[in-house]
Structure 1
Amino acid sequence: MTARGRQDPYPLYAALRAHGPVLHLGSQLIVTSYEQASAVLRDPRMLVADRDMLRRQLGPAYAARPSQALLTDSVLNTNPPDHRRMRQLVSGAFTPRRVAGLRAAIDAQAARLADRLDSGGPVDLIEEFAVPLPLAVICELLGVPESDRAWFRPVAVDFAGAVEYAASAETAKRADDAAAQLRDYLIGLVADRRRSPTDDLTSQLATAAASDSAALSGTELLGNLALLLLAGHETTTNLIGNGVAVLFDHPAAMARLRAAPDLAPAYVEEFLRFDAPVQVTSRVPATAMTVGDAAVDGSVEVTVLLGAANRDPERFAAADTFDPARSDNAPLSFGAGAHFCLGAALARLEAQIAFPLLLTRFPKLRPDGAPVRRDRLVLRGYAHLPVRAG
């Protein structure tokens, strides 16, 4: 996909969908329909690219990519039975009760960050609000000391390039440099928490590793902590930025949410559907099977275009229209099946807090300059979104 296409991929998605719900292109199967995407994501015969697959695909380059190596032993790149074991250990931080218990802390953090927008002049919503809010929340969960978070921030942003398809050389290098720094930092954090455990997820996972046969190995621990950092901030940053930009384009919808903040959950679901923060994922069949009318096997990579599935007119009426009042809204932006995003409930909560706060605190919130999208396909969001709050 060209740089222009990455800025607005939806016309391309529609063109692909016009050729059918799945397209078999050489060693790749492209899935564009909601029905087929959901089926692929939920099918236990569909595997993610694990360590062995990545080593075969990348060859000697695998060892030279710290970002790939760091994530390989996380739930993102692991299949059963290891995936189930890891997920059970990590999911304790994201139970409904634990997430609900974070509401007061998120409210307070969002309010503090909103103070920084109230300068009277133009500010970058991404820099001042959309990045630091979820990053502060995930750092709190992981137990990253507040004094380290200024360092953590650019490292986390660069590390997000690790999951990009066909990343540019510059993006890949920045992701690898960030991964090397992050790995060293996490090794120190884990060692510190084993000496002096606290009530955070790093302590829980690190201390379990010393006594529980089902606990994470050393590389699994580092990989999952790195993944939580990446997924815990990047998706929500994009959700907030994309959502605010959509509201700027739909002033009537913006006014409705400002007048009725309790509509926030429905708006967040429609933001997720209309301009998904995660656009693409992939699977590899464990055995010969069919996807739609296409025969596939382990030699074929199945690329699921989540952004296309969320705009499928067979599933969503007026799919290219932003409509937060639509019923039965179930976007695939957080995936589905065994690899459904662990932090989905937390991301939703942060967004449900952020949008009403921004709109009620700043009744005149408006764009103030040209927004800049990141040149990425998998993680779709803004690098800069200049606004004026007053």
Structure 2
Amino acid sequence: MSTAVEAVKVEGPSEASQVDARANAALGAMKCPHLGAQYNPFAGPHVEDPHPFYAQLRQDAPVSYNPMLGMWLVSRYDDICHVLKDPARYSSSDLGNMGSVLSPQTLSVLAEGYPLADSLINSDPPAHTRLRKLLGRGFSAQRIAAQEGPIRAVSEELVQAFARRGHADLVTEFAYPLPVRVILGMVGVPQEDMADIKRWCDDFFRMIFTRVPAEEQPPLARSWVTFQHYVARLIRAREDEPRDDLISYLVTTDADGEALTLPELIIAIAGSMLAAGHETTTALLAQCWKQALLQPGLWQRLREDRSLVPHLIEETLRFDSVAHGMIRTTTEDVELAGVALPKGSRLLLLYASGSRDPALLPDGDHFDINRSHPTHLGFGRGIHFCIGAPLARLEAQIATNLLLDQLADLRLEETPDFGTTQSLTIRSIQHLRVTWTPTGT
């Protein structure tokens, strides 16, 4: 089993040099061999609007190397699906090795935490098959359907807090607190700990998925260790006194007598459910409402025809994908889109690019609410398809319909500043400032 230190440690300089050398050897036959080197997912024009660059990648260098990331960019839908459907040759097991190069002091802090066990996102069969079976019990159709009442109650409370005001930031006042409160209640975490959970989750994602200077790393590592110990206490409490929540459900054995270990429970609850379980849903809600307000006349059309709300959600997942990308590593020498990739090559699968691929959809750069079931990679594909997708869709439908009910003439502020941010895997906006005619005026 990997330790917390090993699971997040990235390749050292000598290893990176070897990867660069192998990559350069594979570039010769490409039409634009160094196009991928221009990509920067963290700053600049590729954060504001990466799609013109993605279109160029798909046309001229569909598999192209980026030395800054030490990864091959895979931009076409068919190539991405080919990788996702072949976990034996394209592994998820070292997904944690994509963020900061951790300093010795940071590694020392992380060593005080629990071993970072395999999770759904960074495991391959047969480990992934076992984890999916055990964790899937908590996300059955029946358990998801039971969340409709809590989702509606929290949504109504949040909207009523600003409905009479005439202005709000829908990210900070609705899109963020709704999924956090829903997942906290579902998992069994006290609502009063929401601020701590948010801070721990933000620190965890920053350390794992972005590049952090060495001097800024130790506090992030300390935050993750604190988060681990917090979750461990909750798990032990439920073992002693079970409740009607997800933690209590997951600590029990299944029908075959199997059970999750403590490290597996910690990473599943802290990393997968509490961190990923709200971060991506917040981004999805915000992107849906942003698109509904950017398209002329669409808000009123949605008010008049609520059957279009699911279309809005799916088209947003396709057009402005929250799950921006995902990492895989080759387990043997392979060839992808005519490019020879040696064993150990790391791939950044650009989901957002694949979902707009003209080979999938000729007018993919056009947002069209009339698409009833648009094909997209917003929740992944294959064995790693997002286990929380039904819950995210349910939250988006309930919350969007409530806004349509309450805020008839909702509109963006005159000069919107969305504060778009992007990591290797998630794209989101930090603000969605809107105005409307207050209720009763």
Does the alignment reach a TM-score above 0.5? yes
Matched, 1:32 2:72: no
Task: Indicate if the aligned counterparts of 2:327 and 2:347 stay in contact, CA closer than 8 A.
Answer: yes
Task: Indicate if the aligned counterparts of 1:161 and 1:171 stay in contact, CA closer than 8 A.
Answer: no
**Higher alpha-carbon deviation: 267-276 or 29-38:** 29-38
Structure 1 pair 178–263 and aligned structure 2 pair: CA distance change class (3 A): farther
The aligned counterpart of 2:60 is 19
- In structure 2, which of residues 318, 321, 326 is the aligned counterpart of residue 276 of structure 1? 321
Task: Indicate if the aligned counterparts of 2:355 and 2:376 stay in contact, CA closer than 8 A.
Answer: yes
The aligned counterpart of 1:379 is 426
- CA-CA distance at 1:213 after TM superposition: 6.0
Matched, 1:312 2:353: no
Instruction: Supply the distance in 1 between the matched residues of 2:322 and 2:328 (Cα, whole angstroms).
Output: 19
Amino acid at match of 1:34: Y
Task: Indicate if the aligned counterparts of 2:309 and 2:397 stay in contact, CA closer than 8 A.
Answer: yes
Give 1 or 2 for the bigger CA radius of gyration: 2
- In structure 2, which of residues 126, 130, 134 is the aligned counterpart of residue 85 of structure 1? 130
**1:285-364 map, 5 Å:** 285-364=330-409
**1:79-228 map, 5 Å:** 79-166=124-211, 175-208=220-253, 214-226=258-270, 227-228=272-273
Spell out, residue by residue over 1:177-206, the C-alpha distance to the aligned partner (whole angstroms, 9 max, x if none): 432231121011111111111121111222
The aligned counterpart of 2:435 is 388
Instruction: Supply the distance in 2 between the matched residues of 1:325 and 1:174 (Cα, whole angstroms).
Output: 47
The aligned counterpart of 2:31 is none
**Higher alpha-carbon deviation: 289-298 or 78-87:** 289-298
Amino acid at match of 1:376: Q
Secondary structure of 1:290's aligned partner? strand
Instruction: Supply the distance in 2 between the matched residues of 1:259 and 1:191 (Cα, whole angstroms).
Output: 50
Spell out, residue by residue over 1:105-158, the C-alpha distance to the aligned partner (whole angstroms, 9 max, x if none): 211211111112214243221111001111111111210122323432333344
- CA-CA distance at 1:69 after TM superposition: 7.8
Matched, 1:265 2:310: yes
Instruction: Supply the distance in 1 between the matched residues of 2:209 and 2:309 (Cα, whole angstroms).
Output: 30
Spell out, residue by residue over 1:32-71, the C-alpha distance to the aligned partner (whole angstroms, 9 max, x if none): 111111111111221113389789x979688357499876
Task: Indicate if the aligned counterparts of 2:351 and 2:378 stay in contact, CA closer than 8 A.
Answer: yes
Structure 2: gaps of 5 or more residues: 1-39
Secondary structure of 1:80's aligned partner? coil
Task: Indicate if the aligned counterparts of 1:284 and 1:301 stay in contact, CA closer than 8 A.
Answer: yes
Secondary structure of 2:409's aligned partner? coil
Give the superposed CA RMSD. 2.9
Count of residues in correspondence between the two structures = 388
Instruction: Supply the distance in 1 between the matched residues of 2:148 and 2:179 (Cα, whole angstroms).
Output: 12
Secondary structure of 2:344's aligned partner? coil
Task: Indicate if the aligned counterparts of 1:63 and 1:69 stay in contact, CA closer than 8 A.
Answer: no
Task: Indicate if the aligned counterparts of 2:283 and 2:322 stay in contact, CA closer than 8 A.
Answer: yes
Secondary structure of 1:90's aligned partner? helix
Amino acid at match of 1:33: R
Matched, 1:250 2:250: no
Structure 1 pair 333–123 and aligned structure 2 pair: CA distance change class (3 A): same
Instruction: Supply the distance in 1 between the matched residues of 2:333 and 2:106 (Cα, whole angstroms).
Output: 27
Instruction: Supply the distance in 2 between the matched residues of 1:212 and 1:266 (Cα, whole angstroms).
Output: 40
The aligned counterpart of 1:240 is 285
- CA-CA distance at 1:222 after TM superposition: 0.4
Instruction: Supply the distance in 1 between the matched residues of 2:198 and 2:171 (Cα, whole angstroms).
Output: 12
The aligned counterpart of 1:370 is 416
Amino acid at match of 2:62: P
| TM-score (ref. length: structure 2) | 0.80
Secondary structure of 1:257's aligned partner? helix
Task: Indicate if the aligned counterparts of 2:299 and 2:410 stay in contact, CA closer than 8 A.
Answer: no
Instruction: Supply the distance in 2 between the matched residues of 1:307 and 1:168 (Cα, whole angstroms).
Output: 28
Instruction: Supply the distance in 2 between the matched residues of 1:253 and 1:145 (Cα, whole angstroms).
Output: 38
| TM-score (ref. length: structure 1) | 0.90
Structure 1: gaps of 5 or more residues: none
Instruction: Supply the distance in 2 between the matched residues of 1:61 and 1:248 (Cα, whole angstroms).
Output: 47
Task: Indicate if the aligned counterparts of 1:71 and 1:224 stay in contact, CA closer than 8 A.
Answer: no
The aligned counterpart of 2:50 is 9
Instruction: Supply the distance in 1 between the matched residues of 2:320 and 2:96 (Cα, whole angstroms).
Output: 33
Task: Indicate if the aligned counterparts of 1:265 and 1:352 stay in contact, CA closer than 8 A.
Answer: yes
**Higher alpha-carbon deviation: 178-187 or 313-322:** 178-187
Instruction: Supply the distance in 2 between the matched residues of 1:231 and 1:43 (Cα, whole angstroms).
Output: 24
The aligned counterpart of 2:13 is none
